[in-house]
A and B are shown apart, each in its own frame.
Chain A
């Protein structure tokens, strides 16, 4: 028998296949039984009908859904615009904190205070402060749109987190990379730009995605300023009918968007780890 072909005993291959099929059937059967039992128990509980009517009312769901979806479009726009600016703020602040020369001390101090302050203050507080505070100043030429200031607040709050993620990413690149770059005559700035940052970004993509999943949910916080995004819309519907199904519908819409992103982040993380393991064996 030649050694360059993988050889598996046909009988063993058949039995492996049989066992795999059996495992799938057992798993599915067990899951179905579990769902059935939980469903039966819950539906037999006294008061289930009230719960069902208040939270899972099909008519309410269907009637509120289209408006919720169109209100959600505002959340998505806030999310996308905020995300772009958060990335910019994060990278700039992370790089600012790496500046070593004494002349840059003020910039380093400002960047450090920024991350300390905005990581310490609850996002909702920043939103209230900017969203109500700045229009109250009544400054000329300064717009007073709630959506704008709510988005700015999200950018400031998340920018601080993302800056720290980037900073950790820069620190995760081995110091010998900086040494090799500087020995070629590249300046500190060129080393950051061409050697450290590209590798750092690659390392931090999975944690960044987690922050963005969280940002997507936090767009709902802007509702306290008044614009009719999905949460405010659900609140209005609920207060008109005294039925909480619109909240549940809003939750379903959020989940529909976050689950794919979460799975994508998991997949990306697994792939990065696999690549690193592969690279480590060379």
Chain B
């Protein structure tokens, strides 16, 4: 299987405080990788390094073994049109309708015609059960609906890799399910996904691989079954014990 993403010995610190300390990670296409770990363990920073929102201090990040995200000459706009990201806080554009939120990228970045972008957006919205919200505005939607629109907005760019940054953490417990269903649906289409999450049972359900991050390092990784039910490291066991309590 071809490697879609390869993170090679990545280091990052903020004002001298290390956040990532030599991360190695390799993700094959169609694979779903879950990053778990306490807040501050470096999950979000790692995801943001992958699409170039954060620049690394050392190491390299390869897309398809051909494009080095961390190289100075790399055009980050090229990286970002190939890598979709969804944030914890949705970050929809409040002054635009749902449809405009979704079509903005395809029209302005991929230079699709308005009609073509609109058609593709409606198809995607329909697939995620949002067809009737196309003309609504973000503040008229529930948190779960907003987050699904954010997923559709990222998908409209036809990315080859999707990053999810704790996308259910800001949601009402009642609304988590519908968003997780969307992720499962996405996995079914063969999308390559790296997701930071606190939803352990969901990680077990959809992730091909689970990585436990602690203090900026991947301390343990393996299949969901291995890491979540039979963790080898004491820190992993402590972390999971706090979740299961």
Would you call B91 and A185 a contact (CB within 8 A)? no
Selected from A181, A183, A194, A199, the residue in CB contact (under 8 A) with B94 is A199
Cα–Cα, bound, A279→B146 (Å): 13
Q: Is B108 an interface residue (CB 8 A)?
A: yes
B51 nearest CB neighbor, chain A only: A183
Quick check: B104 and A186 within 8 Å, CB to CB?
Answer: yes
Name the distance in Å between B169's Cβ and chain A's nearest Cβ. 14
B153 surroundings in chain A (CB, below 8 A): 184
The stretch that binds B, out of A6-14, A138-146, A172-180, is: A172-180
B93 near A186: Cβ-Cβ < 8 Å:
no
Total contacts A-B at CB 8 Å:
57
Q: Is the CB of B80 within 8 A of A279?
A: no
Asked whether A45 is an interface residue with its Cβ less than 8 Å from the other chain, the reply is no
A260 interface hit (Cβ, 8 Å): no
Q: Does A43 contact B (CB under 8 A)?
A: no
Say which one of B14-22, B81-89, B233-241 lies at the interface with A.
B81-89
Q: With a CB–CB cut-off of 8 A, which chain A residues contact B108?
A: 186, 190, 194
Residues from 142 to 174 in B contacting A, C-beta threshold 8 Å: 153-154, 157
SS class, residues of chain B in contact with chain A: mixed
Give the complex CA separation of A199 and B96 in angstroms.
Answer: 10
- Contacting residues, chain B, for A278 (C-beta < 8 A): 139
Residues 52-95 of B, flagged 1 when their CB comes within 8 A of A and 0 if not, give: 01000000000000000000000011101100110101011111
> Which residues between 118 and 146 of chain B lie within 8 Å of chain A, taking CB atoms?
139
Complex CA distance for A217 and B153, rounded to whole angstroms = 48
Q: A76 CA to B76 CA in the complex, in Å?
A: 50
Interface size on A, residues (CB 8 A): 20
Output the residue of A183, A195, A202 with the most chain B CB within 10 A: A183
Q: Across the interface, which residues of B come within 8 angstroms of A279, CB to CB?
A: 94, 139
Interface residues on B, range: 20 to 34
Q: Does A282 contact B (CB under 8 A)?
A: yes
Q: For B85, give the chain A residue with the smallest CB separation.
A: A183
B109 CB-CB contact with A under 8 Å: yes
How far apart sit A186 and B84, CA to CA, in the bound complex (Å)?
A: 12
Selected contact of A176 from candidates B91, B95, B109, B139, CB within 8 Å: B91
Closest B residue to A184 using CB positions:
B105
Residues from chain A with a CB closer than 8 A to the CB of B105 are 184-186
Query: Are A186 and B109 in contact, with the CB atoms below 8 A?
Result: yes
- Contact yes or no, A185 B157, CB < 8 A: yes
Which of A176, A194, A202, A282 meets B104, CB within 8 Å? A194
| A184/B104 contact (C-beta < 8 A), A176-B91, A179-B91, A198-B95 known | yes
A196 → B minimal CB distance (Å): 10
Residues facing A in B168-207 (CB within 8 A) are: none
Q: Chain A residue with minimal CB distance to B137?
A: A279
Cα distance A179–B84 when bound, in Å? 12
Check: A210 CB closer than 8 A to any chain B CB. no
Residue of B nearest to A199 (CB): B95
A271 interface residue per 8 A CB criterion: no
Given A182-B53, A185-B109, output 19 extra A-B contacts at Cβ < 8 Å: A176-B87, A179-B53, A180-B92, A183-B84, A184-B153, A184-B154, A184-B157, A185-B80, A186-B108, A186-B109, A190-B108, A194-B108, A195-B93, A198-B95, A199-B93, A278-B139, A279-B94, A279-B139, A282-B139
Closest 3 CB pairs of A and B: A185-B81, A180-B91, A184-B105
List residues of chain A with CB under 8 Å of any chain B CB: 176-177, 179-187, 190, 194-195, 198-199, 202, 278-279, 282
What are 8 residue pairs bridging A and B, where the CB atoms are less than 8 Å apart in the complex? A179-B91, A183-B80, A184-B104, A184-B154, A185-B81, A186-B77, A278-B139, A279-B94
- Residue numbers of B with Cβ under 8 A of A are 51, 53, 76-78, 80-81, 84-85, 87, 89, 91-95, 104-105, 108-109, 139, 153-154, 157
